[in-house]
Amino acid sequence: MNWKNKVILVTGGTGSFGKKFIEIMLQEYTPAKLIVFSRDEQKQHEMRQMGFTHENLRYFIGDVRDYDRLRRAFEGVDYVIHAAALKQVPACEYNPMEAVKTNILGSSNVIDAALDAKVDRVVALSTDKAVNPINLYGATKLAAEKLFVQSNAYAGGRKTRFSCVRYGNVVGSRGSVVPLFIQQRKTGVVTVTDERMTRFWISLEQGVRFVIRCLEEMHGGEVFVPKIPSMTVADLAKAMAPEAKINYIGIRPGEKLHEVLISEDEARTVIELDDMYVVQPAESLWFGREWEAIGKHITDEFRYVSNTNENWLTVEQIQEIIKPFEGASK
């Protein structure tokens, strides 16, 4: 794919993902134009101060809740990465309608604006919490996934296609437990909810590169899931604070013991490749099933769950991964 003549827009572009995506795009792909779409002028100002001032970079103030603003921003855009979301689980539980307005209605606005502006491809970022959700955040992301997959049917004769990328916790991102452990270890005590708890883990750069790949290879209607390692939260605490005492405080409301990236109910349409799974659209769309020619079907009983994963991080491997965040905290 030739990126040099493409115009790309990132909703929620001032977040952890957005900044890393912009950085990699400017360094390695140099598209014709990159647009940061977000609602916080202060964060856009901070990005400029951090050096995000390339001649091909534009900043656009707007909220995904506002269709008209999205429609204006999408004019002439080829690709959209939809990363804007309310993602803090407690905040979503306490402000449920705000989560619905941003994560569901905002996603619907992105879809409508992309169709009306004739955007070529749209990739939405999802989460493991959208699979068998037990909290409102997960439920809103599940609804957003369904909107993006099924909206391919609305495209009709248009060229616009929609897909999703679903992955686990991002190391050191906003909301990650890594900054919390860095702060807590100064006291000599770190808190872990349950010693059995496991999580999928992916680095920010890995997540960005996976999204770029999916944007290049998508046909429309797929949910892409990378093969990534698991770890126990207790091992993370030991890696980050080997001298500290660990207090187990119990699972919080809306929190899972283990994460699920693919449920057994999705397995019937999943194709496995060497380094990822592709959840094909369950409905009989006229595209999105091209993956069957290059991958293999999995068994109907398959589940991709963090505690039964074949790939695990050791304490030593975790320590290597978190080194950059250790330096940033000093």
Can you give the pLDDT at residue 175?
Answer: 63
Give the whole-number percent of the chain exceeding pLDDT 70: 95
- List the single range of 34-48, 98-112, 159-173 with lowest mean pLDDT: 159-173
Task: Map tokens 């957005």 to a residue.
Answer: 18
Q: Is the pLDDT of residue 330 over 50?
A: no
Which ranges of the chain does DSSP label H, i.e. alpha helix?
16-24, 41-49, 67-73, 89-94, 96-99, 106-117, 136-150, 152-155, 177-184, 204-217, 233-240, 315-328
Beta-ladder partners of 165: 125, 224
Kindly list the catalytic residues.
Answer: 129
Among candidate residues 266, 6, 249, the one with its CA nearest the CA of residue 132:
266
Name all domains of the chain by residue range, CATH numbers in brackets. Answer: 7-167+203-226+260-305 (3.40.50.720)
As a whole number of angstroms, the distance between CA 8 and CA 207 comes to: 17
* Contact between residue 228 and residue 201 where contact means Cβ atoms under 8 Å apart: yes
pTM over 0.85: yes
Residues 277-299 have pLDDT tens digits of 999 988 766 666 789 899 999 99
What is the distance of C-alpha 13 from the center of its chain? 12
DSSP states along 214-279: HHHH--SS-EEEE---EEEHHHHHHHH-TTSEEEE--PPTT--SS-EEE-TTTGGGEEE-SSEEEE
Residues 194-231 have pLDDT tens digits of 999 999 999 899 999 999 999 999 999 999 999 999 99
At a CB cut-off of 8 Å and minimum separation 6, what does 17 contact? Answer: 83, 125, 170, 173, 204, 207, 208, 211
As a whole number of angstroms, the distance between CA 265 and CA 44 comes to: 41
- List the single range of 167-176, 219-228, 245-254 with lowest mean pLDDT: 167-176
Q: Where does the pLDDT of residue 172 fall: very low under 50, low under 70, confident under 90, or very high at 90 and above?
A: low
As a whole number of angstroms, the distance between CA 66 and CA 41 comes to: 16
Among candidate residues 237, 257, 203, the one with its CA nearest the CA of residue 315:
237
Can you give the pLDDT at residue 208?
Answer: 96
Residues 58-112 have pLDDT tens digits of 999 999 999 999 999 999 999 999 999 999 888 999 999 999 999 999 999 999 9
